[in-house]
Structure 1
Amino acid sequence: MTNALARLLEIVPAPSEPRQKDWREVERSLGVGLPADYKELVRVYGGSNWDDYLYVLEPGCPNENYDLVEWAERQAEDLEDLWEFERKPAELQVEGARVIPWATTDNGECLYWLARPGLEPDRWTVMVNEARGDRWEHFSVSCTQFLASSLDGALQSDILSSVFPRAAHELRRLGAV
């Protein structure tokens, strides 16, 4: 267990039923490996809503609106179209760099891993894109560290809502619609 996940468990206790995934199949579908901390986050919390705002995507999520693989496919297409009109963030101007979504918000912001050529998934960092705009933020932390640090107030985004996080944290596992 990573230090970030241990911290997250202190902040918000885990649901009782862990979720198991066939990660080889998920990674084959995505064409890329995924960070170990994310796999552990999904095993412990599953696709989940945090403080009634941030949604962690899950491959094969019971709520199909938050399926990681589908989000990755849609976002890749949408961003390719967007780059025709907007300038890519500097972090993505490196040949072969790309972003892969791992969370979204109820306002439409998207949280991504920044995947760079030759960089192992466990070293990926987080990028946040505002909902209907071209602002991006880069955070040199893992997705689990980003979530834990956001919830305990150690990390703040200028893009995410000012009402996140809440003083009393809420976790809701995503179920079937």
Structure 2
Amino acid sequence: MWVQRVIELTGWEPLGVSVDWAAIEAELGVPLPADYKQLYETFGGVFSDSGYFLGRDEAVVFDFLAQWRVALSVDGGSGLGGTSAVASYAIYAPGGKGLVGWGSTERADEYFWLVDAERPGDHPILARSQSGGAGDRYDMSTSEFLHRVLADADFLPFGIARYNLGTLFEAGSGGRPL
């Protein structure tokens, strides 16, 4: 339902990207949200010249797995005792609990799932604004959160609709998803 709303909001034609989700989820050790997978297969790119949706493309800086691997390696060697510099959570490591990033904005907002290997179907969102802090938790789907960011000017502090950027979408990598 929410993925369809994002499609209608942007007027985008689904890309139909083929992704080996089994391999990605095997590396993570948990399943990804079904609506994220559908969003990625449909989009994979930049919304309103401001919101970056992490996808799957090893050659691009907005690669979902590459960003997670880097965050995990930095977090593991940070000397912070397993606590990430991002809020008070560690970056998710297979079999544990922690953050997995899936998006950001040009204003330095960051979007994560709070992942717990013992609760594999549960994907609450932790959104952290440019001002930092622990972040705000949202118990909603990835696609609902993304829709609210794009369309709800009152979705503070994360809604970008208040900036009148429109709802255009641009695929990354020359038409291929990011």
CA distance in 2, matches of 1:75, 1:132: 20
Return 5+ residue gaps in structure 2 as ranges. Answer: none
Give the TM-score taking structure 2 as reference length: 0.78
Give the TM-score taking structure 1 as reference length: 0.78
> Which AA in structure 1 matches 2:54?
L
* Cα distance change on mapping 1:151 and 1:133 into 2, 3 Å: closer
Q: CA RMSD in A?
A: 3.0
CA distance in 2, matches of 1:67, 1:126: 19
CA distance in 1, matches of 2:42, 2:86: 37
Q: Report % sequence identity.
A: 19
- Kindly tell me the number of residue pairs found equivalent between the two proteins: 167
Q: Which has the higher helix share?
A: 1
Q: 1:54 aligns with which of 46, 51, 54?
A: 51
Return 5+ residue gaps in structure 1 as ranges. Answer: none
Moved over 6 A (4+): 84-87
* Cα distance change on mapping 1:84 and 1:138 into 2, 3 Å: closer
The within-5 A match list for 1:8-47 is 8-15=6-13, 17-45=15-43, 47=44
Shift of 1:136: 0.9
* 2:60 match: 64
The within-5 A match list for 1:1-177 is 3-15=1-13, 17-45=15-43, 47-60=44-57, 64-80=60-76, 81=78, 83=83, 88=88, 96-121=96-121, 123-131=122-130, 133-153=132-152, 156-158=155-157, 160=158, 166=164, 168-175=166-173
